[in-house]
């Protein structure tokens, strides 16, 4: 009985999520190590920090003393291990400009970025997916053509120009929303958030909308192409033939399948936005980490830049891990292979 045997061959269905997550974490650690080598190389090998710190009129003895005090007289591998050891202990060094621990500096600015980015992502998904499914299902209807045109335009507008346009329309002409800065914050778990009070929310809207436009366009396109592909699959016709409700056909059979690519892209996009929303944060003078990065590059505040790069990598790794886990939850073919 070939059929019965097959069932047993696939009996190892308990190759569990835990295993999968552990395997992925292992890979992530390797990736982080590689990144730390690159950042270390960038920081200590390509340029000479002693020369920068000591200035032009320092004597040779001054330089040696300086090098010794920063451990720069040690062989390279030892220096790398020291650098790594400090990072593992959470010590990313001290900012040249602010004279404070870099980590505290970044975490202080992080909530401002997070609230704008998450709001934008939520709006992007909540608006983009329904629009995309609608236009995928009704290819010939007029609204689809409008949506299609709108996404093309929205995707092509340069981010900074769109931001200026928003300020012009909503802050200057209509005077309904503030043009820049972050409004009052509400303390939740010791962190200040401005999305949780009405006045603060008014300040979040424009920067979040500026990020959301491109996201909506992208999600619409992903959902539309997914819908067009999935609707022609045999299982969609078979599901219709079963006589199930249309809401179930769309909400379950279609959505589950189109979410798979959307999750992957959203994960990547989330990381990029958190780490590199520098344009939006600059135009709206939004005190997030993107603006911190830009300021630090201007002022050659290298400890901040280095810590930023490593944390960004760590964040990308974690977001990817979460995306992969969601992916595996959505697609049993990944989960059980």
Partner 1 sequence: MMAPLLAIEDLSIAYQLGDGRDAEAISGFSLHLERGRIVGIVGQSGAGKSTIGKAILGLMGDNARITGGTIALDGTDITRFSEARFAAIRGKRIGYIYQNPMTALNPVLSIGEQLIEAIEANTTRRGGDARAYAVELLKSAEVTHAEERLAKYPHQLSGGLCQRIVFAIAIAAQPDLIIADEPTTALDVTVQKAVLATLKKLAREKQISIVLITHDMGVVAQMCDGVSVLWRGRLVEHGPTAQVIGAPRERYTRDLMAAIPTVDHKRARFDVLDSFEDTPGRRRGIAFLKSGIAAGRDGQSLLSIRNLSKTFDAQGGRGTSGGFRALDGVAFEVFAGETLGIVGESGSGKSTIGRAILGLVEPDAGASIAFQGRPIAEMRGRRDRVALSRSLQCIFQDPYSSLNPRMNAGTNITYGIVAQGLVSRAEAKVLAQDLLEVVGLPRAAAGKMPHAFSGGERQRIGIARALAFRPELIFCDEPTSALDVTVQAEILNLMKELQETLGLTLVFVSHDLAVVRQMCDRVIVMRAGRMVEEGNADEVLTAPRETYTRDLLAAMPRIAFEDA
Which residues make up the interface to partner 1 (CB under 8 A)? Answer: 1-4, 6-7, 9-10, 12-13, 15, 19, 233-246, 248, 252-253, 256-257, 260, 330-333, 336-337
As measured in angstroms, the least distance from the Cβ of 140 to partner 1 is 9
Query: Ramachandran region of residue 158, left (φ > 0), alpha (ψ -120 to 50) or beta?
Result: beta
Closer CB to partner 1, 43 or 260, in the complex: 260
Closer CB to partner 1, 86 or 252, in the complex: 252
Closer CB to partner 1, 142 or 198, in the complex: 142
As measured in angstroms, the least distance from the Cβ of 142 to partner 1 is 17
Closer CB to partner 1, 15 or 62, in the complex: 15
Report the 10 Å Cβ neighbour count for 314: 16
DSSP 195-238: TTSHHHHHHHHHHHHHHHHHHHHHHHHHHHHHHHHHHTSHHHHH
Strand partners, 186: 193
3-state DSSP percent of the chain in helix, strand and coil, to 5: 75, 0, 20
Strand partners, 191: 188
Query: 301 is written with which tokens?
Result: 């505040």
Closer CB to partner 1, 156 or 247, in the complex: 247
Closer CB to partner 1, 165 or 244, in the complex: 244
As measured in angstroms, the least distance from the Cβ of 15 to partner 1 is 5
As measured in angstroms, the least distance from the Cβ of 72 to partner 1 is 44
As measured in angstroms, the least distance from the Cβ of 16 to partner 1 is 10
As measured in angstroms, the least distance from the Cβ of 322 to partner 1 is 19
Helix (H) or strand (E) holding 82: helix 76-88
DSSP 132-201: HHHHHH-TTSHHHHHHHHHHHHHHHS-HHHHHHHHIIIIIIIS--S--SS----EEETTEEESTTSHHHH
């Amino acid at each position: 009985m070939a059929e019965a045997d097959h069932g047993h061959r696939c009996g190892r269905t308990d190759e569990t999520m835990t295993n999968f997550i552990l395997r992925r974490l292992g890979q992530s650690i390797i990736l982080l190590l590689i990144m730390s080598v690159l950042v270390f190389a960038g920081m200590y090998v390509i340029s000479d920090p002693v020369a920068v710190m000591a200035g032009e009129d320092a004597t040779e003895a001054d330089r040696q003393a300086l090098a010794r005090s920063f451990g720069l007289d040690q062989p390279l591998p030892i220096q790398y291990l020291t650098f790594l050891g400090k990072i593992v202990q959470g010590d990313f060094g001290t900012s040249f400009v602010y004279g404070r621990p870099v980590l505290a500096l970044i975490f202080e600015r992080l909530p401002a970025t997070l609230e704008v980015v998450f709001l934008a992502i939520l709006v992007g998904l909540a608006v983009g997916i329904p629009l995309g499914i609608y236009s995928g299902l009704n290819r010939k209807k007029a609204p689809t053509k409008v949506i299609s045109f709108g996404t093309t335009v929205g995707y092509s507008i340069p981010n900074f120009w769109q931001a200026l346009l928003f300020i012009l329309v909503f802050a200057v002409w209509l005077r309904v929303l503030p043009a820049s800065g972050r409004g009052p914050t509400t303390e939740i778990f010791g962190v200040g958030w401005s999305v949780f009070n009405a006045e603060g929310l008014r300040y979040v809207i424009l920067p979040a909308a500026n990020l959301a436009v491109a996201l909506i366009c992208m999600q619409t396109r992903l959902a539309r192409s997914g819908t067009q592909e999935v609707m022609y699959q045999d299982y969609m016709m078979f599901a219709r033939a079963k006589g199930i409700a249309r809401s179930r056909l769309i909400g379950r059979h279609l959505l589950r399948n189109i979410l798979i690519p959307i999750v992957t892209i959203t994960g990547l996009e989330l990381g990029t936005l958190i780490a590199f929303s520098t344009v939006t944060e600059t135009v709206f003078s939004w005190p997030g980490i993107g603006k911190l990065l830009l300021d630090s590059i201007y002022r050659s505040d290298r400890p901040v830049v280095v810590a930023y790069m490593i944390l960004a990598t760590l964040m990308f790794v974690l977001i990817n891990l979460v995306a992969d886990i969601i992916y595996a939850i959505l697609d049993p073919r990944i989960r059980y292979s």
